[in-house]
Amino acid sequence: MAESGRLSPGGSRELGRALSATEPSPALETGQGCRAGAEVRVLVVNTGGTIGMMPQSEGLAPEANKLAGALAKIPILHDVTYAKETKLYDRLALGDDTLVLPLSKENKRIIYTIMELSPLLDSANMTPADWGTIAKCLQANYEQHDGFVILHGTDTMAYTASALSFMCENLGKTIILTGSQVPIYELRNDGRSNLLVSLLIAGQFVIPEVCLYFYNKLYRGNRVTKVDTESFKAFSSPNLPPLANAEVDITINWETVWRSNTTKKFEVHTNMNSNVGLLRIFPGITTAAVKAFLQSPMEGVVLETYGSGNAPNNRPDLLEELKQATDRNVVILNCTQCLRGSVSLVYATGKTLLDAGVIPGADMTPEAALAKLSYILGKPQLSLAEKRKMLSENLRGERTVVPIGTRITLKDSKFIQGIAKYLYISCKEELEAIRDALTPALACAAAKTGDLDALKALQNLGGNLSSEDYDGRTPLHIASCEGNLEIVTYLLESGATVYAKDRFGATPLMNAIRFRYYNILGLARSPGKCSSQQTIFSLKGTALCILALKGDIDGLRAWHLAGVDLDQHSYDGNTPLRVAKIMGRTEVAAFLKSLTKNDLQKSSATRVILKTPN
Ligand code: ASP
């Protein structure tokens, strides 16, 4: 890829000189007028865009060598007193392209150096070569700085942010792209606050991602798209909540922050493949147009499809072109034209594309998908199979791995987060989906071993303790089989239902009856634990009738000792005595008759709670 553009600090100083003098310094003592604080270093790479534009005869255009001088006159963006009193420029051998923010609430001094791309660009003029220039600048200055801010035009900022997110491998520091809708030189503008907050975040938080900050929100760079030309809120991240919100406080959504799971050295991959493109299908798109688009040298295409990834499946001509392209090893990635949501294979029209060799792109933005294609296809050492596999994977948090379902925070769950890290996922919604997938198995295991603390922990995470495993069994089923009164009590008090039926039709109560855990049956009978006493009694009646049917006198005696009235009706209106008579179980009938009215009254009044029979 050809190189375009050069970078220089502030447009006036030599790059090498600025870099040699950028060692971070510890907290400083100062004279009277200003407070010190730990100094951190941020590099600002000014690539152009509205933020630094001035009116020219042809309209707004970027103005070179002006930004640092202008910012130096804005007190919230430069603390002149601190610079003087601490002899900042002599001490660090800095030029006037370096400025210092007033002390932050977190007691930090953010010293930032501005470098400019030459020429400065309207981002509509940016090319992948410019992404390469920015990436190389980041690499050259990586060690000397704590964080990075890239000033960029909004028009293609989502493309650059996406591209840099892939190009920056093993990133361990914060990189933030920002810009503005109104030039920073105008009286009322969004540039000052966008720059200020970007500096504060880049200087004070390690968010090892390529981010985009705009109008109070920090987004993951490869999740955004420009949605508004008139509002200050120019960007949207439809499928991922912001990484941070800058309201009264700057709140980082740490659960969502992507972490690269590696200790490898930071490096940039600048060999982006330019033979990639975006093809948006529309009703009536001609085969000739598709055919022409897919011809050599095209190597990778983002196919923007309808809804959840659908293309017409009544167009064999079109599908044939796509199939022929994938057979020629052109990689085609399916992304939706919708702003929000994901490609899924619910419709036959989507499945058809899969059959033609098109790779589902989940909920990636077209910008991210294009950048990912360009990045992966720029790695000649990879086989086609490896490239296709990587396209389906989550490399930088650019796509959602598991279906989204929302509830509570998981920030304290080391276990779930450990799994999430292993699976390369990080956002709250994905974590919650994992929690929901694991809760049934974990809760059932805890119920089996009687681990009350584990159940409590799962519930604190927001796990649903009534959730069923693959057999439809709930933790209450398991605890009822185990006869663990403490666990059953906890589950019932947590809202677990005694009515849940497993795949064999058994409820927890039936399990307790089957294993003759009278303590649990007694608990279920007590007021407040179960909303339908009638159902329980009918279940008991049924269980008693079954015992009578089988001739199980011991079983009936146990119920009797547990204080249960054996003269109960089953669901079909029979009583144990009637069943015994009908079935000719004379011993059982005799036993039941032998229980005097007195005995029955006595036993039901006593409400004995027996321990397990074995
Ligand atoms: N055309 C400008 C650019 O992308 C728009 C902006 O910066 O907001 O550079």
- Whether residues 228 and 308 share a domain: the answer is no
- Whether residues 255 and 376 share a domain: the answer is no
Distance between Cα 114 and ligand 1 center (Å): 19
- Whether residues 378 and 463 share a domain: the answer is no
Q: What is the pLDDT of residue 521?
A: 65
Tokens of 561: 């000792």
Distance between CA atoms of residues 543 and 524, nearest Å = 15
Catalytic residue of the set 22, 30, 47, 50:
50
CA dist 144 to 22, 141, 246, Å? 6, 6, 27
Structural domain count, the chain:
3
Ligand 1 close to Cβ of residue 123 (< 6 A): yes
**pLDDT tens per residue across span 124-162:** 999 999 999 999 999 999 999 999 999 999 999 999 999
Ligand 1 close to Cβ of residue 179 (< 6 A): yes
Q: Identify which has the larger pLDDT, 191 or 575.
A: 191
Distance between CA atoms of residues 338 and 233, nearest Å = 19
Among 230, 246, 265, the domain boundary falls at 265
- Whether residues 63 and 198 share a domain: the answer is yes
286 in any annotated domain: yes
CATH number of the domain within which 485 lies: 1.25.40.20
CA dist 212 to 127, 226, 370, 468, Å? 19, 11, 18, 41
- Measured from the CA of 51, which atom of ligand 1 is nearest? 7
Quote the distance between the C-alpha of residue 7 and its chain's center. Answer: 35
**pLDDT tens per residue across span 249-276:** 999 998 788 876 666 889 999 999 999 9
- Whether residues 115 and 260 share a domain: the answer is yes
- Domain enclosing residue 326, as ranges: 276-391
Distance between CA atoms of residues 462 and 456, nearest Å = 10
Nearest protein Cα to ligand 1, atom 3: 153
Ligand 1 close to Cβ of residue 160 (< 6 A): no
Helix/strand/coil for 342: coil
CATH number of the domain within which 285 lies: 3.40.50.40
- Whether residues 81 and 218 share a domain: the answer is yes
56 in any annotated domain: yes
* Percentage of the chain lying above the pLDDT 70 cut: 81
**pLDDT tens per residue across span 49-58:** 999 999 999 8
CATH number of the domain within which 119 lies: 3.40.50.1170
Ligand 1 close to Cβ of residue 194 (< 6 A): no
Q: If phi over 0 gives left and psi between -120 and 50 gives alpha, with beta otherwise, what is residue 62? A: beta
CA dist 285 to 299, 357, 468, 523, Å? 21, 20, 47, 68
21 in any annotated domain: no
Q: Which pLDDT band, with edges at 50, 70 and 90, does 529 fall under?
A: very low
Ligand 1 close to Cβ of residue 198 (< 6 A): no
Name residues whose C-beta falls within 8 Å of residue 290's C-beta, 6 or more positions apart in sequence.
279, 318, 321, 322
30 in any annotated domain: no
12 in any annotated domain: no
CA dist 161 to 49, 267, 371, Å? 14, 16, 9
Q: Which of 46, 120, 123, 127 to mutate for ligand 1's pocket (most ligand atoms within 8 Å of CB)?
A: 123
455 in any annotated domain: yes
Distance between Cα 382 and ligand 1 center (Å): 36
- Whether residues 420 and 565 share a domain: the answer is yes
Q: Which of 47, 60, 122 to mutate for ligand 1's pocket (most ligand atoms within 8 Å of CB)?
A: 122
**pLDDT tens per residue across span 157-210:** 999 999 999 999 999 999 999 999 999 999 999 999 999 999 999 999 999 999
- Whether residues 417 and 556 share a domain: the answer is yes
Helix/strand/coil for 48: strand
- Whether residues 165 and 192 share a domain: the answer is yes
Distance between CA atoms of residues 98 and 101, nearest Å = 10
Instruction: Indicate if 160 belongs to the active site.
Output: no
Burial class from Cβ neighbours inside 10 Å (0-12, 13-18, 19+) for residue 590 reads exposed
Name residues whose C-beta falls within 8 Å of residue 436's C-beta, 6 or more positions apart in sequence.
405, 463, 464, 467
- Whether residues 172 and 118 share a domain: the answer is yes
6 in any annotated domain: no
- Whether residues 340 and 191 share a domain: the answer is no
Average pLDDT for residues 387-409, to the nearest whole number?
76
Helix/strand/coil for 333: strand
Burial class from Cβ neighbours inside 10 Å (0-12, 13-18, 19+) for residue 597 reads exposed
Among 265, 288, 322, the domain boundary falls at 265
CA dist 282 to 286, 320, 341, Å? 9, 17, 19
Among 237, 265, 293, the domain boundary falls at 265
Ligand 1 close to Cβ of residue 231 (< 6 A): no
- Whether residues 128 and 258 share a domain: the answer is yes
Q: Is the pLDDT of residue 319 over 50?
A: yes
Task: Please name the amino acid found at residue 478.
Answer: I
Distance between CA atoms of residues 101 and 178, nearest Å = 17
Ligand 1 close to Cβ of residue 181 (< 6 A): yes
270 in any annotated domain: no
**pLDDT tens per residue across span 214-247:** 999 999 999 999 999 999 999 999 999 999 999 9
